Amino acid sequence: MDTNLKALRYFMAALRCGSISEASKHLHVVPSAVLAAVNQVEEAFGLQLTTRQRAKGIAPTATGQILMQRIQHLLDEYETLMSIGTEMRTQLTGTLRVGYYAPVAPAFLPGIAHGLLAENRRADIKFIACDNETAQTGLISGAFDVILCVAQRMKPGVTYETLVEVPAYLLVPRNHSFAARASVSLKDLGGETLVLLDLPAVSEYYSRILEEAGASPRIASSATTLEMVRSLVGAGVGCSLLHMRPATDITYAGDRVAEVPLSPAPPPLKIVLGHLPDNPRRLVKAFVDQVRVLFSKEESRRFLVRLPEAK
């Protein structure tokens, strides 16, 4: 079978109008184009679908009437599909799937979601926490529309842009002696007890900078979520190395913690925004634009712990 949607449209128009010439006027094409389409459809099915009489025009056979219903359903489905595609391109509608590997993402993604969803009732957003590998694989496979992750071992095919370079800092209980200091060296951690965030890429980074600094603190505990690490630190289990910070110094347990810059500052991690480059849905584009705006503003600095700038 070898036919196309245009031929099916012309075929249906001819039978609806009951005349090749009337269908050609309706479609704004020459009669020969309609006739050729009717012949093509009949040839493709290998069935007699029409009867043609010079005085009475063109009419469907019994077989043609059966197929007309199916053909019209196909054309309707196609129009619906194209309408949905146009809507996705021009309106904020549908489901946006965001994969993120950024422990502090809950500090800023909800604000972006609110801005997009408050005025767009036909849109919804699914946030999926994952690791770096899963985020990138998900973007390439179509599981995610956009990702936030660490710029480490980025896969070919992932288009990404750096949102922010994030320096590491030391998180300590509020009553710890380091809390009153302007900065702490990694070498100062030799006699300390640490709680580590045990996530791919991040844990490797912390192990590397400690080794390079010649520091060998005791690792008392580890956790795979940021808030568990913060709560362990607040409870006095140990200090921790982290990157981005939330907007509060209170843990889930109600303890207070303090962020202390590292000096000299180790190489920062890069948080990147990954997306597919060509013809994104409007909802995807709007989300990407909002993330860019957030990290281009001074307010994004509140997520970072840095050494005081020299005067």
Hey, what are 298's tokens? 């001074």
CATH number at residue 56: 1.10.10.10
Give the per-residue pLDDT at 90. 62
Hey, what are 294's tokens? 């957030």
Quick one: 83 and 98 in the same domain?
no
Q: Which residues contact 159 (CB under 8 A, 6 or more apart)?
A: 274, 275, 276, 277
Per residue of the chain (311 residues), what is the pLDDT tens digit? 467 889 999 999 999 899 999 999 999 999 999 999 999 999 988 889 899 887 678 998 988 888 988 898 888 888 877 766 666 566 677 889 999 998 888 888 998 999 888 877 888 999 999 988 999 999 988 899 999 998 888 888 888 999 989 899 999 999 999 999 999 999 999 889 999 999 888 888 898 999 998 888 999 999 999 999 999 999 999 999 998 888 899 999 999 999 999 999 999 989 999 987 776 788 888 899 889 988 888 877 888 887 766 43
Residue 139 lies in a domain: yes
Kindly state the DSSP code that residue 310 receives in the 8-state scheme.
P
Name the residue range of residue 220's domain: 168-261
Quick one: 231 and 178 in the same domain?
yes
Whole-angstrom distance, CA of residue 163 vs CA of residue 112: 15
Amino acid at 44: A
Residue 21 lies in a domain: yes
Quick one: 282 and 145 in the same domain?
yes
Residue 240 lies in a domain: yes
Q: Side-chain half-sphere of 139: how many Cα atoms within 13 Å?
A: 28
Residue 294 lies in a domain: yes
Q: Side-chain half-sphere of 36: how many Cα atoms within 13 Å?
A: 7
Quick one: 102 and 39 in the same domain?
no
Q: Which residues contact 65 (CB under 8 A, 6 or more apart)?
A: none
| Domain C-terminal end among 41, 72, 90 | 90
Question: Domain count of the chain?
Answer: 3
Quick one: 156 and 197 in the same domain?
no
94: three-class secondary structure by DSSP: strand
Residue 200 lies in a domain: yes
Quick one: 98 and 236 in the same domain?
no
Quick one: 49 and 179 in the same domain?
no
| Domain C-terminal end among 74, 90, 106 | 90
Quick one: 145 and 82 in the same domain?
no
- Cα angle vertex 170, ends 262, 236, to 5°? 150
Q: Side-chain half-sphere of 79: how many Cα atoms within 13 Å?
A: 8
C-alpha 16, offset from chain centre? 45
Quick one: 176 and 227 in the same domain?
yes
Q: Are strands 240-242 and 193-197 parallel, antiparallel or unpaired?
A: unpaired
Quick one: 108 and 231 in the same domain?
no
Residue 308 lies in a domain: no
Prediction pTM value:
0.70
Hey, what are 122's tokens? 């036909």
DSSP code string of 111-178: HHHHHHHTT-TTEEEEEEE--HHHHHHHHHHTS-SEEEEESSSPPTT-EEEEEEEE--EEEEETTSGG
Contact 140, 127 (CB under 8 A): no
User: Sign of torsion, CA 180 186 188 193?
Assistant: positive
Quick one: 286 and 209 in the same domain?
no
Contact 136, 155 (CB under 8 A): yes
Residue 268 lies in a domain: no
Number of Cβ within 10 Å of residue 115's Cβ equals 15
| Domain C-terminal end among 90, 115, 136 | 90
Hey, what are 116's tokens? 């997009």
Residue 309 lies in a domain: no
CATH number at residue 147: 3.40.190.10
Quick one: 55 and 198 in the same domain?
no
